[in-house]
Structure 1
Amino acid sequence: MTSTAAPPRTGLVRRLAFAATWGEGLDGFDLGVISVALPFITKALGLTPVEAGLIGASSLIGIFVGAPLAGFLTDRLGRRLLFTIDVMAFIVLGLLQGVVTDGLQLFVVRVLLGVAIGAEYSIGAAMLSEFAPARGRGRRLSGLLVGWYGGYLVAVITAYVLIDGLGLSWRWALACSALPALVTALVRIGFPESPPLLLAHGRGDEARAIVYRHLGGSQYFDDERFGAEEDGPKAALFRGENLKRLAFLSVFWACNVAPYFAIFTFAPTVLKTLQLGDPAVGTIVVNAMAAVGAVVGMLSIEHIGRRKQAVPPWFAMAAALAVVGLWAGAPAWVIVLCFAVSSFLNALSGNLTAVYPIEILPTAVRSSGVGVAAAASRVGAAIGTFLLPVGIDAIGTGACMLIAAAICVVGGVVSQVAAPETTNRDLVDTSTSPLTAGTRVPTR
């Protein structure tokens, strides 16, 4: 049902959105900085292409473990505890990157960092969505991806400035991620527990006290239908309709991130093999376009709806990557333009990886489901990231781009068949309605 609730009466949701967005920014930063630093690391530590691929994929491997584990713990122990603890790992592991002495140590540290990143995926969006009102929820959740792409872009620029501009070691580029992590840790102090989660655990009095104190009293509680969570059936993640939702989320998310991580983790290398004169400029441009795409997606999602943002971009991305794959010797501006269009649209539709998992999974298994979907998506991303440098040597960059285009077509077809319309619907409705393409429920 479409929500008619008034906005929260305090700034709690805005502060929570800021804290969650900074957490996503840390994820993007730690994944983005390696794309610039990896060639320098490879040379300094004498890595083979296979070892470089493993380090490039290391955080994705960690996400595969961390996302479902943290999701499981968050659904059972509460959002608030892990929301605070997880960010501390970013500080410690960020600093450890600066003191490793060989490739194996760096691989282990970045796998653990990936565990923390996976935890952030499972916690931050769920925490924010369960406080935010239905109207405008998509914009707030999309803002998390703006933080992610912004963090990725800042990491790329920072790494180039520190390594190329100032002549500092790659160690400084990796270790500097501890500073924004410290800021994030300070911002996250003092949040209450999620009311829907408390209701799902039978702690209705505590949930009502939090809603009445921080959000908008009994009227807000009724308008956002918190009580339906208290009375609703307990959900099972791997059965019935929830299993269908989980399958859709996993494929959608995997098809979105696999080409992105595979290409942009090795963006300087990819652009160099395509005879681009200045890979650094090209890398910054295409990542800047991703950040712009995330912002455009955030601003437009409540106006054009989830489904229109989910389906058409896939096929345009496939076309852009196919041009790179098929046009051998294309001018540099064509290559940069195609990658820029692809990254823009990838981020535009990628906003839904922070929205759909939250909106179509029930509270009792929301973080667990997000964790499983994130882990499944990172299987494809990790495989692609590991195989890309090997594939460039074996079959060439053009063939690798055609494979990425084919993955986008798969994402488009699956979205056409299954992507629902959830705009302005409360979480109870979106997580209990059958998963049917374009389905809406009557306005309340």
Structure 2
Amino acid sequence: MTRVDEGGRRRGVLRRMTLATAWGEGLDGYDLGVLSVVLPLITTSLGLSPLWEGLVAASALVGIFVGAPLAGRLTDRLGRRRMFVLDIAAFVVLGVLQAVVTEPWQLFVVRLLLGAAIGAEYAIGAAMLAELAPSRGRGRRLSGLLVSWYVGFLVSVVTAYLLVDLAGLNWRWVLATSAVPALVVLALRVGLPESPRWLVRHGRVDEAREIVERQLGPEAFAAEEYAAEDHGTDRLRLFRGELGRRTVFVCVFWACNVAPYFAIFTFAPQVFTALQLSDERASTIAVNALAAVGAVVGMLSIERVGRRRQLIVPFWIMAVSLVVVGLWSGGPAALVAACFAVFAFFNALQGNLTAVYPIEVFPTDVRSTGVGIGSAASRVGAAVGTFLLPVGITVIGVGPCMLIGAAVCVAGAVVSHRLAPETTGRTLTRTGGVGSVA
């Protein structure tokens, strides 16, 4: 095999790993986004009370809370590759089951389990990719996962509107369309290698070296400092000392990023109707499209701007945009739409860091566990916001709800300014090592 052929094969494996992970993240966005379109149809079809509507809307988010830390713990113990395949197989089964539900509780249970699978994906996928990818461009690769998430969310919204409005498809089958991309992802993941950092952590250094040299080249094992991996065994250290501060940071910034987004955009049609925007479909699609654009911009800028700056500045911009809507909810439709567009753009631009920071600040032996805890904590806020928003719009109005969202963004900015480290350009061994980032 020539050097050119060997280099192409290496790039091909890394490209396949990136694609298999990115499609999984896109599938997460698809499963969560499609519900926002068909939820009004579900409410009418199943006769959902406001309580059940909130429970169905929040079910996947509650599932993430359970699934992410559990899957993270199992992934740290059993290995990345095995869980990487099993999790996506669950997506296929649960996606199909959505087509046969007949009662509210059945849909709630299926969506709850689907949320657990989504939470597992957060804990597994990014770790699987980051632990093989070289330091150079790692942030861009991980940011690409969130680009895929927003694209998946956007595709689901457009697809759902087309299937419902043009094809007249029942909402059950619209939800079940998620099984199709899940099958594609499953095919991509079969046969991928185990994480070399996980292998080193478990004493299988020769096996790890062989994978790294085969996939990345003979110099990569030393250059990426695989042999210097931390061999800590105390998982409770995630809640103590420096790692405890990192855990708090990840939980808070992630929650403050996703809570307003899910609360607003799960009920986007209802929110836009309450704000008297004339075409809620066009508004929903346009704002989600701008979110996808923001994610792409964030991916392209992360290595230049740096993690810390790209995290803190957008929090303040999002807070201002929601304050304007909150104080002037009856203002011109163009202004309200523009504020939501700004919020969506910068939320997505910043949101890329939810796939980067949690991976980079935790050491290998507790990386998936730490990511799972952060993901679970973020979904507590998202689930509470999603559950309470329809009630809040009815009781206190959409304006005060937006002001509450702005306060969440301010809290995220303050905590991030205090705790966010700068990890740009450092090897994963160094960013995850205790005492190595500041």
User: TM-score w.r.t. structure 2 length?
Assistant: 0.96
Unaligned runs of 5+ in 2: 1-6
- For residue 359 of structure 1, report the CA deviation from its aligned partner: 0.5
- For residue 331 of structure 1, report the CA deviation from its aligned partner: 1.6
| Change beyond 3 A, Cα 1:420–1:175 | same
- For residue 9 of structure 1, report the CA deviation from its aligned partner: 4.1
Matches of 1:9 and 1:170 in 2, distance apart?
43
Matches of 2:356 and 2:39 in 1, distance apart?
31
Deviates more, 1:196-205 or 1:6-15: 6-15
Matches of 1:298 and 1:383 in 2, distance apart?
29
Question: In 1, are the aligned partners of 2:10 and 2:214 still within 8 Å (CA)?
Answer: no
Q: What residue is the counterpart of 1:400 in the other structure? A: 401
Answer yes or no: is 1:226 the counterpart of 2:192: no
The residue type paired with residue 225 of structure 2 is: R
Paired residues in the alignment total 430
Q: What residue is the counterpart of 1:94 in the other structure? A: 95
Question: In 1, are the aligned partners of 2:150 and 2:295 still within 8 Å (CA)?
Answer: yes
C-alpha RMSD over aligned residues: 1.4
- For residue 233 of structure 1, report the CA deviation from its aligned partner: 4.0
Q: What residue is the counterpart of 2:75 in the other structure? A: 74
| Change beyond 3 A, Cα 1:435–1:198 | closer
The residue type paired with residue 373 of structure 1 is: G
Matches of 2:110 and 2:340 in 1, distance apart?
30
After TM superposition, list the pairs within 5 Å mapping 1:28-107 onto structure 2.
Answer: 28-107=29-108
The residue type paired with residue 151 of structure 1 is: G
Q: What residue is the counterpart of 2:272 in the other structure? A: 271
- The secondary structure found in structure 2 opposite 1:191 is coil
| Change beyond 3 A, Cα 1:233–1:97 | closer
- The secondary structure found in structure 1 opposite 2:278 is coil
| Change beyond 3 A, Cα 1:132–1:270 | same
- For residue 99 of structure 1, report the CA deviation from its aligned partner: 1.1
Question: In 1, are the aligned partners of 2:57 and 2:386 still within 8 Å (CA)?
Answer: yes
User: Which consecutive segments of 4 or more residues in structure 1 shift more than 6 A?
Assistant: none
The residue type paired with residue 133 of structure 1 is: P
- The secondary structure found in structure 1 opposite 2:341 is helix
Question: In 2, are the aligned partners of 1:290 and 1:344 still within 8 Å (CA)?
Answer: yes
Matches of 1:48 and 1:7 in 2, distance apart?
56
Q: What residue is the counterpart of 1:3 in the other structure? A: none
The residue type paired with residue 292 of structure 1 is: V
Question: In 1, are the aligned partners of 2:250 and 2:374 still within 8 Å (CA)?
Answer: yes
Matches of 1:8 and 1:88 in 2, distance apart?
27
Matches of 1:180 and 1:290 in 2, distance apart?
21
- For residue 206 of structure 1, report the CA deviation from its aligned partner: 1.3
- For residue 239 of structure 1, report the CA deviation from its aligned partner: 2.5
The residue type paired with residue 257 of structure 1 is: V
Matches of 1:99 and 1:323 in 2, distance apart?
43
Deviates more, 1:201-210 or 1:273-282: 201-210
Query: Cα deviation per residue 1:384-428 (whole Å; 9 max; x = unaligned)?
Result: 000000111111111100000100000111111111111110011
Matches of 1:10 and 1:142 in 2, distance apart?
18
Query: Cα deviation per residue 1:240-261 (whole Å; 9 max; x = unaligned)?
Result: 2211111100000000000000
The residue type paired with residue 410 of structure 1 is: A
Answer yes or no: is 1:316 the counterpart of 2:322: no
Matches of 1:292 and 1:152 in 2, distance apart?
12
Matches of 1:11 and 1:222 in 2, distance apart?
22
After TM superposition, list the pairs within 5 Å mapping 1:247-396 onto structure 2.
Answer: 247-396=248-397
After TM superposition, list the pairs within 5 Å mapping 1:114-125 onto structure 2.
Answer: 114-125=115-126
Unaligned runs of 5+ in 1: 1-5, 440-444
Matches of 1:166 and 1:333 in 2, distance apart?
31
Question: In 1, are the aligned partners of 2:243 and 2:434 still within 8 Å (CA)?
Answer: no
Q: What residue is the counterpart of 1:110 in the other structure? A: 111
Matches of 2:209 and 2:9 in 1, distance apart?
14
Question: In 2, are the aligned partners of 1:50 and 1:390 still within 8 Å (CA)?
Answer: no
| Change beyond 3 A, Cα 1:401–1:8 | farther
User: TM-score w.r.t. structure 1 length?
Assistant: 0.95
Matches of 1:210 and 1:39 in 2, distance apart?
49
The residue type paired with residue 332 of structure 2 is: P
- The secondary structure found in structure 2 opposite 1:138 is helix
- The secondary structure found in structure 2 opposite 1:99 is coil
- For residue 235 of structure 1, report the CA deviation from its aligned partner: 5.3
The residue type paired with residue 355 of structure 2 is: A
Query: Cα deviation per residue 1:205-242 (whole Å; 9 max; x = unaligned)?
Result: 2111211222212x11000000101x644453233221
Query: Cα deviation per residue 1:266-305 (whole Å; 9 max; x = unaligned)?
Result: 0000001111111000000110111000000000001111
Matches of 1:11 and 1:183 in 2, distance apart?
17
Question: In 1, are the aligned partners of 2:329 and 2:336 still within 8 Å (CA)?
Answer: no
Question: In 1, are the aligned partners of 2:57 and 2:387 still within 8 Å (CA)?
Answer: yes
The residue type paired with residue 390 of structure 1 is: V
Q: What residue is the counterpart of 2:4 in the other structure? A: none
Query: Cα deviation per residue 1:96-127 (whole Å; 9 max; x = unaligned)?
Result: 11111011110000000000000000000000
Q: What residue is the counterpart of 2:162 in the other structure? A: 161
- The secondary structure found in structure 1 opposite 2:48 is coil
